[in-house]
Each structure stands twice: as C-alpha cells, then as structure tokens.
Amino acid sequence: MNGFDALLLLLDALNGSPDPDGTHRHQCTECGCIWEHPNSRQGDGDAHTCPGCGFNDGGPWWHYEGPDAPAYVEGPDGYPMAA
C-alpha cells in the first residue's frame, strides 16, 4: 500500500468507513462502463480497472452514485462478471 492509499484509509476511518461487507460502484471516465466491487477491495488497483475497456487512471477513484445498474459485478473469484 502506498502513502496515498494509506491516507485514504485514514480519512475513511475518521469519516466513518463504509461497511466492509457492502459494495460500491464506479463509472469509467473513458467508456462510461459501470461496475461494482466489494468495499473490502478499497485501494486495490485491480478492482478499479474498468472491466469494459481496461482503463485505470491510477486513482483517486470516485464512487458512482447514479441510477444506472452496473454492467459488471465482481464474482466470488475476484474477477468481474456480467451483471
């Protein structure tokens, strides 16, 4: 974990971190794909790589809070699967 990721974890802890058993969504800034992964993978670069086009801007990664359903949801093996 790099210093930036550690800082994000600290800020989450101070602000009340999300439920580790829950999930959240992201939207790719390149292709618009929406995907969902567990909160437990916060700071994990692989979880923040778009499953639609492979783009990863290196963070910080913003949560998608819009109404659209995800095209991909992380499966039990840690890899995205079609929703």
Q: Which residues of the chain have pLDDT under 70?
A: 1-2, 4-18, 20
Q: Where are the domains of the chain?
A: 19-82
Residue 56 DSSP symbol = -
Q: What is the value of pTM for the model shown?
A: 0.72
35 - beta bridge partners?
Answer: 26, 72
The pLDDT value recorded for residue 11 is 59
